[in-house]
Amino acid sequence: MELCLNKYWLYKSVFLIFVCLGQHLLADSVAKNQWSRSRVIGVAGSKQVTITINGLGADADLYVSKVQQPSLTEYDCRPALASVNDETCLIALASGEIAEIGVYGVEATDFVIETSFIESKQVSIDQPQQLILGRVIPGSVESNQYRYYMFDSSSLPALTDEYLLPSAVNHEGFGVEFVAHLMNLDADADLLIGIGELPTKSNGEDRCPSNKPGGTDSEQCGVLLKDLKGLPVFVGITGDNTSATYDLQVLIQKTINVSATDIPIVNNGFSTTGIVIKGQWKYYQLNPDLVASASSITITMKPKNDDLDLYVRSQAPPIGLHWDCFANLSGVQEEVCTINNPSQNQRFYLGVFGFTTSNFTLSVNVM
C-alpha cells in the first residue's frame, strides 16, 4: 500500500480529492453532518473496484455513485453499517469511468479510504433475449449460472414532469418504475437488474431487495425510469444452487401517488397494528419535533402472518431503490431500523412493503 497525495480539482463548484489509481490509501476527516468527497477513475481494461472506509473513530457512512455525487437519498451503494464498522462497496468500473465517493459524518471522525482494483470476472453468455413490455416469457436457468435478457429503454417516450421524483418539499408523485416480475418458479432463483451492464451477484443484487433465500416465491425488482437515461436494462436470472424454470414479465408501473399530508405522523412510544396488501405500501412519518430532540430512534416492525419488509428514508417516503434503511429478513421475523444522531432538519418516513399480504405491528422508541 502507498499513501496517495491529495489532488484537488474544481468540479461543479466543489473541491474534490482524486483518489490515486491502483491499490492505495487516502487519509481524511469529516465534520458532523458534513461530506468529504473524492472520486476514483477506472484503469485500463474492464475492472471492478473495491472502496472501503476504515480506521473510523466515530460513526460515518460510505456512499458511492457512478452517475453523480452521492447524496443521502441518491447513490448506487451504501452499506449503512452502524458505529465504527468498516464499510465496503464493490462496483464495476471500466477504463476512464468515474465513481464519485462520499463519506457522510454522522459524527465528526477521521477515516481512511482504501481503493483496490480487481479483474472483472468473465461471464460467458448467449446474446440476451429482447424483452417486450407486458409479454410473459418462459425460461430456465442452470444451477449457479446466469440467464440474461435486455430491454431497450431508449424506445420509451420522453418523460414528463409527472414521471419524475419530486423535490423533498412536497413529496408528490413518486414516479414511474420499470419493473421485472419473476413468477411461477419450480425452484429457488434470484432476480437481478443492471443499467447499462450485465448484473451479477456482486453488482446487481442491491437493486433487487425482494430476493429471498430458498423457496419459490415470486420476486420483483424495479428501477425508476428517470434513472435509465436511455441505457439498456439487463435482467438477470441466476439459479441458487439448483436449476429452475420460471416465467418473466416486465412492465412500466406508476408508483403510488400520495401527499405528505396523507401520511400519519407518529411520536415516541407509538405502537399500532395494521395490514398491508401484497405489492403495496403503508407509510408513516416521524414527528419532526421528535427527530430534533432525539439521539437515537428505533423503529420495529413484526409481521403477523407472512413476509413484510421495513424501510426508512430521510426527506421522502421510501420506494423502489430509494431508502436509507432496509431490514431485509425472510418470513415472519421482527425487523428493526435504527436512526442514530439525526439532524434537526431531517424528516423521516417509515414504509412497510407487502412482499406478501399480512398483518403487522409497528412501534417507535426514542432515546
Q: How far apart are CA 328 and CA 310, in angstroms?
A: 8
Q: How far apart are CA 239 and CA 189, in angstroms?
A: 5
**Residue 194 CB neighbour total at 10 angstroms:** 21
Q: How far apart are CA 301 and CA 281, in angstroms?
A: 14
Strands 189-195 and 265-266 turn out to be unpaired
Over residues 137-148, mean pLDDT: 88
CB-based contact 180:250 (threshold 8 Å): yes
> Which residues touch 281 (CB under 8 Å, ≥6 apart)?
256, 317, 319, 351, 352, 353, 354
147 and 220 assigned to the same domain: yes
> Which residues touch 124 (CB under 8 Å, ≥6 apart)?
none
Q: How many domains does the chain have?
A: 3
Domain residues for 349? 261-366
110 and 179 assigned to the same domain: no
Domain boundary among 91, 119, 147: 119
Residue 35 lies in a domain: yes
160 and 248 assigned to the same domain: yes
Strands 129-130 and 146-152 turn out to be parallel
- When mean pLDDT is compared across 100-104, 255-259, 260-264, the lowest value belongs to 255-259
Residue 78 lies in a domain: yes
Q: How far apart are CA 310 and CA 362, in angstroms?
A: 9
Q: Is the pLDDT of residue 4 over 50?
A: no
| CA 47 from centroid of its chain's CA atoms | 22
**Is the full-model pTM beyond 0.85?**
no
Domain boundary among 119, 149, 173: 119
C-alpha dihedral (318, 320, 323, 329), degrees to nearest 10: 100
Q: For residue 306, which amino acid is it?
A: D
72 and 174 assigned to the same domain: no
Residue 330: name the closest of 347, 308, 349 by CA.
308
Residue 124 lies in a domain: no
Q: Is the pLDDT of residue 208 over 70?
A: no
Q: Which pLDDT band, with edges at 50, 70 and 90, does 254 fall under?
A: low
Q: How far apart are CA 77 and CA 99, in angstroms?
A: 11
Over residues 221-237, mean pLDDT: 78
Domain boundary among 188, 221, 254: 254
Over residues 273-288, mean pLDDT: 82
Domain of 46, CATH number, reads 2.60.120.380
95-135 pLDDT per residue, tens: 778 889 999 999 999 888 888 766 544 444 456 888 888 78
